[in-house]
Chain A
Amino acid sequence: MDRLLFLLATGLARGAIFALFALSLVLIWRAARVVNFAQGAMAVVATYVAFAVTGLTGSYWIGLASALVAGGLMGLIVERGVMRFASHASPLSGVIIAIGVVMVLQSLLGIAFGPNARPMEAPFPETPIVLGGVPVLSPYDLFVLVVAIGLMGLLALIFTRTSLGLQLRASAFAPEVSRLLGVRVARMVTAGWVLASAVGALAALLLVPTELGLNPHSADMLFVSAFTVAVVGGLDSPPGALVGGLVVGVLISLVTGYLGATVAPIAVLGLLVAVLLVRPGGLFAATEARTA
């Protein structure tokens, strides 16, 4: 029972990171109808920036802020510089360009920083707190959960309470109609990329201290898991990303704990296949489908 509680708690913390990263994929999908396969590599670039800034200043928090800025800038550069020119005739063109961006970014990171993993320290201890004799979350896990929940709340506020959010939603659902209504759809697409890339960068930054270290491929598995989350939740659905993230996080944690780490990726892919067979649009497709 103790073990189950521990695995559930750590699964939730890991799931919150998946949810954040999946949310970044969902935001770009909604804004531009592109599955951004470069999201992981872009987030790693921002994490390297945070790594460098933290090294220079000695402050994790300045590093975190710089990761958000760098992530947003990566979104701006990739959208304005490359993605905007992708043909809309086929969804494949965006995907292929994104894969090209991955190769370029990972090569550049390899050239600049080398292939070796660099340890990144967490701002809080990673040793689980023991409550009533049961080890549960570590302070860092708690920090991750608080940041993830806080950010999701902030995004929910932006999307439901601000002029920017209203226009982002409008242009995501019906770009042509939105144009007629005066919405600057191209700007909204860029804003979606910036926002999503900053969120993706934060997710990667939160994940890396719990892994072996920072290297150009640090976010590869994060992308695979988060992509599964996005498909499970429904690519159009931010609430789906949240729930899907927690489900996948807990699933990985439980399978790793009871069956071994090697079985976890199979479990994730099994879930992906099951959802695609039973409900191809994702668990939240009915309520969030593109309708306009």
Chain B
Amino acid sequence: MNHTPVGVEPGSTAASPAAASAASAAAPRLRVDRLTVRFGGLTALDDVSFEVGAGEVVALIGPNGAGKTTVFNAVCGLVRRAAGEISLDGASAANGPTGLVARGVARTLQGLGLFDSMSVLENVLVPLESGTVRRVQHAEAAAQASGCLERLGIAHLAAVPVAALPYPERKRVALARALGTDPALLLLDEPAGGLGEDDIDALADVVREVAASGCSVLLVEHHVDFVMGVADRIIVLDFGRVIACGTPDEVRADPRVEEAYLGIEPAA
């Protein structure tokens, strides 16, 4: 079995020492290497390997229960790895979420996980004010949070309690909270879920903008058009294993993907 992480072209590493040194200096933003996660007798992830480079948008897709969110949880240190390595910018990722924000990782959640009794601004301020992020001063944190709200077009809602907002705005708050810390790696868990077409288009623009600024994006999403529109590469998971990987066009044409999603047997 070939365990070369998907996203790394076999043989692409240059043979010369200088090139090898340059390659190690430019370690991928996220490297997941032979990751296995088990829940009791269930193998949720089985020997999963992939990389996300700087400024790259990678989508994880697959049927429900394929293990997509488990990948996120493993990267965030929320689940124990049975085997495998996860590294961020070449450094091994710690077990447990402590220090995640300080290491430049931000994540949105399927359930949003907003603090409903807090205002929009306060929600965005929490990671900026937390103990493990770079110690930004109070005023600087507020300015950074406000800038982020402005970027997402919700600055006028800064003082509004999150509980009072409709769902699309709540999703923007969750995205703003993740972007507020100026992350190097952004994990988006179903960012388009529950949004209308206009909001999805706006979201795609934000994701492209974020990636263009050098931030790596790993996203889990069911909305195929959105994924095809924003992802540089797509990794398809099924029953905890990577069954396909490539550009959107390559994945679309892959018969194994059709089989996993639609149950259509590939032609012999």
Number of interface residues of A (CB under 8 A): 20
Partner of A184, one of B76, B114, B132, B177: B132
User: Do residues B130 and A173 form an inter-chain contact, with CB atoms below 8 A?
Assistant: no
Hey, which chain A residues are within 8 Å of B78, CB to CB? 180
Closest residue on chain A to residue B177 by CB atoms: A181
Closest residue on chain A to residue B138 by CB atoms: A163
| Interface 1/0 per residue, B78-121 and A, CB below 8 Å | 10000000000000000001111110000101000111111000
Chain A binding site: helix, strand, loop or mixed by DSSP?
Answer: helix
Partner of B127, one of A181, A288, A291, A292: A181
| Interface 1/0 per residue, A169-192 and B, CB below 8 Å | 110011011111111100100000
Closest residue on chain B to residue A163 by CB atoms: B129
A263 interface contact, C-beta 8 A: no
User: Do residues A292 and B138 form an inter-chain contact, with CB atoms below 8 A?
Assistant: no
A167 interface contact, C-beta 8 A: yes
User: Do residues A183 and B126 form an inter-chain contact, with CB atoms below 8 A?
Assistant: yes
CB distance from B101 to the nearest CB of A (A): 3
B125 interface contact, C-beta 8 A: yes
Number of A-B contacts (CB under 8 A): 73
Question: Which residue of B98, B99, B126 has the most chain A CB atoms within 10 A of its CB atom?
Answer: B126
- Inter-chain CA distance A181–B163, complex, in Å, is 19
B122 interface contact, C-beta 8 A: yes
B131 interface contact, C-beta 8 A: yes
Closest residue on chain A to residue B125 by CB atoms: A166
CB distance from A178 to the nearest CB of B (A): 7
User: Do residues B99 and A182 form an inter-chain contact, with CB atoms below 8 A?
Assistant: yes
B206 interface contact, C-beta 8 A: no
User: Do residues B107 and A167 form an inter-chain contact, with CB atoms below 8 A?
Assistant: no
User: Do residues B131 and A166 form an inter-chain contact, with CB atoms below 8 A?
Assistant: no
Question: Which residue of A169, A177, A182 has the most chain B CB atoms within 10 A of its CB atom?
Answer: A182
Hey, which chain B residues are within 8 Å of A177, CB to CB? 109, 113, 115
Given contacts A166-B122, A166-B126, A167-B126, contact A183 B115 (CB under 8 A): no
Given contacts A167-B131, A177-B109, A180-B100, contact A292 B115 (CB under 8 A): yes
User: Do residues B100 and A170 form an inter-chain contact, with CB atoms below 8 A?
Assistant: no
B133 interface contact, C-beta 8 A: yes
What are 26 contact pairs spanning A and B, CB under 8 A? A163-B138, A163-B141, A166-B118, A166-B122, A167-B130, A167-B131, A169-B115, A169-B118, A170-B118, A173-B115, A173-B116, A177-B113, A177-B115, A180-B97, A180-B107, A180-B113, A181-B126, A182-B100, A182-B101, A182-B102, A182-B127, A182-B132, A184-B132, A187-B131, A292-B114, A292-B116
Query: Which 3 pairs of residues, A with B, have the shortest CB-CB distance?
Result: A182-B101, A182-B130, A291-B116
Could you tell me which B residues sit within 8 Å of A by CB distance? 76, 78, 97-102, 107, 109, 113-118, 122, 125-127, 129-133, 138, 141, 163, 177, 181
